[in-house]
Amino acid sequence: AQKVTQAQTEISVVEKEDVTLDCVYETRDTTYYLFWYKQPPSGELVFLIRRNSFDEQNEISGRYSWNFQKSTSSFNFTITASQVVDSAVYFCALIDNTNAGKSTFGDGTTLTVKP
Amino acid sequence: GAGVSQSPRYKVAKRGQDVALRCDPISGHVSLFWYQQALGQGPEFLTYFQNEAQLDKSGLPSDRFFAERPEGSVSTLKIQRTQQEDSAVYLCASSLPTGRAGELFFGEGSRLTVL
């Protein structure tokens, strides 16, 4: 069975601080895909990144970076120099071969960035 | 339209009523998904279409839930004899590729409240 755990329910930081959101996943498949989505107060989830299980290279996109470590089954997300507009709920998700087409989401981490 | 459109945005139903939720995916997107999101939780998979074919309906909670996509574009999620536990946000997402792990484009959701 596939499972995604986001242990941090809520995080609050002050603007310009760096913040890391943790994601731990479980799957029996060797081929799988990991995702991060952002859900602002408007409610619409927005895709941020996808990684496949064969690509462990870390990725940086502007102030966002992702650290994928198969050894610890983690796919953590770091926001550098956070801004108030980063305030949202962030979800980590997993698709594996056994459950093709079906994304399993964590329960999300609510990030509040205070000015 | 440019994005996934869902209607109604808000629906209040009396217990026992039937409701229908509509999703209009991004034009040309082959795959369409329905998710249920309870307050404070991540989206939970309900069902998945590829064109008009419903490939996976394993997440539908009961036989009161029914989804269709007769012409491979617009989809309707129908809930019969609504119960209070059906109260949630129902998210529709579409995806371009026919493969298993495409990024999802979400609508803003339909918030159902059953009294």
Q: Are B94 and B105 in contact (CB under 8 A)?
A: yes
**Selection from B71, B81, B69, B85 nearest residue B33 by Cα:** B69
A64-94 pLDDT per residue, tens: 999 999 999 999 999 999 999 999 999 999 9
Do A45 and B41 lie within an 8 Å CB cutoff?
no
Contact residues, chain A, for B69 at CB < 8 Å:
none
Work out the minimum CA distance from B105 to partner chain A, whole angstroms. 7
Torsion over CA of A49, B27, B97 and B47, rounded to 10 degrees? 90
The residue behind tokens 């419903």 is B54
Percent of chain A surpassing pLDDT 90: 76
- Whether residue B100 and residue A103 make contact (CB cut-off 8 A), yes or no, is no
| pLDDT, tens digit, 9 for 90 and up, residues B57-77 | 999 999 999 999 999 999 999
Cβ–Cβ below 8 Å for B106 and A45 = yes
Q: What is the pLDDT of residue A57?
A: 83
pLDDT of residue A111: 97
Per-residue pLDDT tens listing for chain B (115 residues):
589 999 999 999 999 999 999 999 999 898 999 999 999 899 999 999 999 999 999 999 999 999 999 999 999 999 999 999 999 999 999 988 655 567 889 999 999 999 9
Residues 6+ apart with CB under 8 A from B89: A43, B36, B37, B38, B109, B110, B111, B112
DSSP string covering A92-114:
EEEEESTTTT--EE---EEEEEE
- In angstroms and rounded to an integer, the radius of gyration of the C-alpha atoms of chain A is 14
High-pLDDT (> 70) share of chain A, %: 100
pLDDT attached to residue A56: 83
Q: For residue range A94-104, what is the model confidence (pLDDT) as tens digits?
A: 998 777 778 89
B3 contact residues in A (CB cutoff 8 A): 44
Alpha carbons A84 and A87: distance in angstroms, whole number = 6
Q: Is B35 left (phi over 0), alpha (psi -120 to 50) or beta?
A: beta
- One-letter identity of residue B81: R
Residue type, B99: G
Interface of B with A in 11-50 (CB under 8 A): 31, 33, 35, 40-45, 48, 50
Q: Could you say which of B42, B44, B100 has the minimum Cβ distance to residue A100?
A: B100
Q: What residues have CB less than 8 Å from A25, skipping those under 6 apart?
A: A2, A3, A4, A5, A32, A34, A73, A74, A75, A92, A94
Residues from chain B that touch A46, judged by Cβ atoms under 8 A, are 106
Cα separation, B67 vs A86, in Å, equals 35
Q: Which of A33, A43, A106 sits opposite B101 (nearest CB)?
A: A33
